[in-house]
Structure 1
C-alpha cells in the first residue's frame, strides 16, 4: 500500500488498515494464512527453536490456530501472553489449548494453572508477533497499547512478524506512524516473502 492510499498518522492509519484487513474476503484470508503457516513451518529458525512465543489470533489477525497445534505436536514449549496491566504482558507455558480461557476482551489467554516464563535468556527462542501492519525495516503498527514494544525490548531471541502481504507497507516512518519507542522485529513473514531486517 502507498502513502496516498493510507493517509498519515497512527490513528488514521490504524483505522484504515483495520478496515482493509476486515474487508478481505474470508476465503482470501484463509488462503494467505495457510500459506504463511506452511512457510513458517519450513523455516529453520522455527524448526530449531525449543520455545515458541506466540499469540492467540483474534478477529481478522493472521490465524495462529495451526501454529499452536504444530508447536504442541512438535513437543516444543508453547509460550502465550496474558495481559497483566498497562503495557505489560506476562508469558505462560501452555501444554494444551484446553488451558486457554477468554479474557475480558474475548482473546484467548493462558489460565492460572499455566507456569509463568521469562522472555529473556535464550537466544534461540522464536517469538511470533502480531500487528495491523509491518514495514520492510521490521517496524510494526500495533493496536496502541504498547505491549509488544515493551516485550521486544526484553526478548532475547528472534522475533518474527506475521503479516498478510496486503498489510505490508514500505516505511511506517514516511506514514508518520513510527516513534522513538517503537521496536522492530528481526524478520517479517508474509504469504509471499520472508523479509530479513
Structure 2
C-alpha cells in the first residue's frame, strides 16, 4: 500500500480518536510531571515548544513551568507558502496576547524573532508515534524540515493512546529522541541506537 495513502488514512483515524479522548487536561498535567523530572529539561535554558491547537497535548502547564523556572521559551511561527517555520520568543501566558496564525496555529500577537538554533530542547506535536521514534504529523512537513535544519533533542508529546505499532514513514522523516505520555517516558529505538553507537 502507498505510504502517502497509509499516512492519510492513519491521520484521519488518530485525529478522531484523540478528539474523543477524555480527561485531556488531566493527562496533559501528568505529562508535564514527567517532563519536569527529566534532567535534560532541568538543565535546558531555552526550550522550543508549540502552542496547543485543538485536541493536542496541552502545553500551557509546560509554558508556565518553564517561565517560572526562568527558562526562555521559543514558539514556532508557520510560514505556509514555504513549508518552513520561523521562531518567536514567548514572554507571556496571557491568551489575549495571542492570535491565530496561518493554518490555524496559535502564535504571539507581537512577534519577537528568536535566533535560529538557540534552544536546547524541542517539544513536538503529533497525531501518532511508534517506539522507533517515527511520528505522524499533520502532513505539511514543517517539523521534519525544522529538525533537519536544527538538530536537537526532540521530544514528542502524546497521549498513550496515540501509540501505534509502526508509523508509515519515508526516508525524509526525522525521528524523535523521546516520547512523553501520561503513562511513561519512552527513549525511542532511534535515540537508543545512537547512544549505543557513541559508547
TM range (shorter): 0.7 to 0.9
Paired residues of 1:79 and 1:117 also in contact (CA < 8 A):
no
Root-mean-square deviation (CA), in Å?
1.6
Paired residues of 1:93 and 1:117 also in contact (CA < 8 A):
no
- Name 1:179's counterpart in structure 2: 170
Aligned to 2:34, the other structure's residue is in SS state helix
Distance of aligned partners of 1:23 and 1:113 in 2 relative to their CA distance in 1, 3 Å threshold:
closer
Q: 1:160 aligned to 2:158? A: no
Q: 1:97 aligned to 2:88? A: no
Give the Cα separation in 1 of the matches to 2:111 and 2:50: 18
User: In terms of mean alpha carbon deviation, does 187-196 or 48-57 score higher?
Assistant: 187-196
Map of 1:49-68 to 2, 5 A cutoff?
49-68=44-63
Give the TM-score taking structure 2 as reference length. Answer: 0.85
Distance of aligned partners of 1:77 and 1:13 in 2 relative to their CA distance in 1, 3 Å threshold:
same
- Name 2:191's counterpart in structure 1: none
Paired residues of 1:81 and 1:110 also in contact (CA < 8 A):
no
Aligned to 1:117, the other structure's residue is in SS state coil
Shift of 1:115: 2.6
Shift of 1:97: 2.8
Shift of 1:164: 0.6
Corresponding residue pairs, total: 181
- Name 2:114's counterpart in structure 1: 116
Where structure 2 has 5 or more consecutive residues not aligned to the other structure, the ranges are 189-199
Give the Cα separation in 2 of the matches to 1:154 and 1:15: 28
Give the Cα separation in 2 of the matches to 1:186 and 1:71: 20
User: Which structure carries more helix by proportion?
Assistant: 2
Shift of 1:104: 4.4
Give the Cα separation in 2 of the matches to 1:136 and 1:179: 16
Give the Cα separation in 1 of the matches to 2:79 and 2:112: 14
Give the Cα separation in 2 of the matches to 1:135 and 1:191: 15
Deviations 1:26-78 (A, max 9, x none): x2x22221110111111111110111000001110000011111111111110
Runs of 4+ off more than 3 Å: none
